[in-house]
Structure 1
Amino acid sequence: MNLTTEQLNKHLDTGSLSAVYIISGDEPLLIQESSVAIRKQAKLNGYDERKVFHVDGKFDWETILLETDNISLFSKKKFVEIRLISGKPGEKGSRVIQEYLSKTSKETITLFIAPKLERSATKSKWFTSICNAGKCIKIWPIQSSQFPQWMSSKLNRFNIKVSNEALEILVHKVEGNLLAATQEIEKLKLLAPKAEISGEVMSSLVTDNAKFNVFILLDNIMEGNPKKACRILQRLKDEGIDVTIILWAIIRDLRVLIKATEATIKKESVDSYLQRVGVWDKRKPLFKKTMNRVSIGQLGQMLRLAGAIDQSIKGLRKGSPWNDLTTLVLTFCGVRPLSSKSFKLFLQNA
């Protein structure tokens, strides 16, 4: 059974536990939080004995099978944690996991922890066996549009009351930096008044820890969020991120959008194309949304703008790459679509 992190928390709040869990993803902090929550509830339910296996390339899988036969003299209830370092147990590991699950005592809870798994791994026998036996929690990076709700839920979980203005200030200060967000909430637990926190109080309590990356920029461009996209672009510039890296990422998405739109025109499956070129499942809705609001002609125009910026970076065209990149971002967001005359002026030195 698949669960989101929010659903996992609700499941654990009932006090009941599944025999098996697997947590996978590429957000270490969220993986850690979910793991701690499961361990904590298991301990409350009397699973005091904990055994941890770190599975690397030299790991002896037979030691896990021995664990099923090893009954402690001090505790019948056991919590077994199996950390799959690479997320690829191999043929022997797959066999052992399936055998282990078939032999595991009802007095044992097993937690598997893995990095983000490839699609082939999620369809493997070992993974499906785990999911069929218990709960599967896939940890996805928190999208910009989801961050306010994530923060609100986390604050509610600790009974910290904030006004809408205070929440907006907190999100603005820490967005994109989960560790900083968690640290600020810990600070609020200690320093914040018991009454609802106002915007003014929040401003005095938190610091600006927002940390962005190119992927967050791309998602906001796809969402058509110009104010946020420009703020992220400025932050990336201030942090010394190479303009070429940002431009390359935008060009890549533009080319995928053009090809996906062409596939639609040909009555081909957009999902199949996006899957074929490696677009993550979480980003597919963003691509489809952008395809609905931007024509293939506009996409082609923006690709030419990107080419002109590339020439500026290489010194083959006059212009400011960062200023021109801002123009491209705004155009991509739909705020400043260039007229034919403006487009020609932009490219005249290309």
Structure 2
Amino acid sequence: MIRIYPEQLRTQLQNHLRPCYLLLGNDLLLLQESEDSIQAKAQLLKFNEHFRVSLEDVTDWDTIFSLSQVLSLFAHRQTLLLRLPENGVTATIEKKLAILVSLLHPDFLLILRGQKLTRAQENSFWFKALSSNNAVLVDCTTPDPAQLPCWVKNRAKNMHLSLDDAACKLLCYCYEGNLPALVQALERLKLIHPDGILTLPLVEEAVTDTSYFTPFHWINAVLSGNSKRTSHILQQLRLEAREPVILLRYIQRDIFLLLTLKRHMAYTPARILFDQHKIWQNRRPLLMQALQRLSVQQLYQAIALMLKIELTVKQDYSDYVWADINALGQLLCSNTLFPTAMIDV
């Protein structure tokens, strides 16, 4: 199975249309654009009948199987798009997908669209069957902060825009996690500046901060020790009227986990501790950064500050709670400007 990113899909489609495409990820813009590109290529190759089905346990699979039958000489070529369930593929659906994969032929194009790929799905029979049928997996996950600048520059280049590094950095800052708004901003800049040359002053005049974050983005920024990013994300969460208590619940779990790991690292390797606590592989580097940066004393200070915030929320909720949460984030980022007096409770 070929694994590519959406920006690589156009080149792949120019070479050859594969019998099956898996569009998996959390970004609606990337999912839709990838689907549109595949359908447009299929249309050029005379795939003139298109069907869509959202899979459930009660799906009529006999109808789906009938679509995949080998066509007569004068029949139309067909595409079938199946939306995988948001809560995961059940055992029943897995069995049916495995059968469907065995029925693929040159006049029948299968497109599967769903959430991020899980390890269980990778090990499933239907996924392995697709791997042996020249399928293509398109990773439609929203680019992370490290990948986003490259994505923005590639998108700008495809739109015949010249973007300097400072302008690109500003766009990433203002639109992280919100690719539809980012693309709209580039389209708007292209209209305003037909010559396509975009510098920082020109971009500053046209953009607004519409980045989109979840509490998990804030947690990851805290664990990585990026104090500026931590404050930016928290400000956006506040503007979106997120509940402070939710942030507390998420961060306190990681603080107590860090304290436990810190106590045992002196005589137990980190890898073994991570395995014992069933920590996902993609979180381990972030936790390791925090473990190397934070002392036990700082973690106890963070616990004391969490208690102060908890009392503030329960007794007399006010805007001051956001300042305290920001102080908590800065403490965990090891920001030396953190006022230690704030932890008195």
Once residues 214 and 61 of structure 2 are traced to their aligned partners in structure 1, the CA distance between those partners, rounded to angstroms, is 38
Tell me the residue number matched to 2:324.
324
Tell me the residue number matched to 2:244.
243
Tell me the residue number matched to 1:90.
90
| Between 227-236 and 290-299, the greater mean CA deviation after superposition | 290-299
Q: SS at 1:69's partner residue?
A: coil
Once residues 287 and 6 of structure 1 are traced to their aligned partners in structure 2, the CA distance between those partners, rounded to angstroms, is 30
Counterpart contact for 1:26–1:140, Cα < 8 Å? yes
Percent identity among equivalent residues? 23
TM-score for both structures, normalised by structure 1: 0.84
Distance 1:173 1:263, change over 3 A: same
Note the C-alpha offset of 1:59: 0.8
Of residues 267, 272, 275, the one that matches 1:272 is: 275
Distance 1:306 1:72, change over 3 A: farther
Counterpart contact for 2:6–2:139, Cα < 8 Å? no
Note the C-alpha offset of 1:103: 2.3
Note the C-alpha offset of 1:88: 4.2
Counterpart contact for 1:147–1:171, Cα < 8 Å? yes
Note the C-alpha offset of 1:6: 4.7
| Between 165-174 and 58-67, the greater mean CA deviation after superposition | 165-174
TM-score for both structures, normalised by structure 2: 0.85
Once residues 231 and 54 of structure 1 are traced to their aligned partners in structure 2, the CA distance between those partners, rounded to angstroms, is 38
Counterpart contact for 1:144–1:220, Cα < 8 Å? no
Q: Which amino acid aligns with 1:71?
A: L
Note the C-alpha offset of 1:306: 1.8
Whether 1:104 and 2:104 are equivalent positions in the alignment is yes
Q: Which amino acid aligns with 2:303?
A: L
Residue by residue, what CA displacement relative to the aligned partner does 1:225-272 show, whole Å, maximum 9, x if unpaired?
Answer: 212211222232233322222222221222233334456442352442
Residue by residue, what CA displacement relative to the aligned partner does 1:89-120 show, whole Å, maximum 9, x if unpaired?
Answer: 43443222222222221333211112235432
Distance 1:58 1:306, change over 3 A: same
Tell me the residue number matched to 1:19.
19
Alignment of 1:100-249 (within 5 A): 100-133=100-133, 134-249=135-250
Once residues 244 and 231 of structure 2 are traced to their aligned partners in structure 1, the CA distance between those partners, rounded to angstroms, is 14
Q: SS at 2:47's partner residue?
A: coil
Note the C-alpha offset of 1:305: 2.4
Counterpart contact for 2:301–2:343, Cα < 8 Å? no
Once residues 158 and 205 of structure 1 are traced to their aligned partners in structure 2, the CA distance between those partners, rounded to angstroms, is 17
Note the C-alpha offset of 1:285: 2.6
Unaligned runs of 5+ residues in structure 2 are none
Note the C-alpha offset of 1:68: 2.0
Q: Which amino acid aligns with 2:23?
A: I
Q: How many residues align?
A: 342
| Between 223-232 and 69-78, the greater mean CA deviation after superposition | 69-78
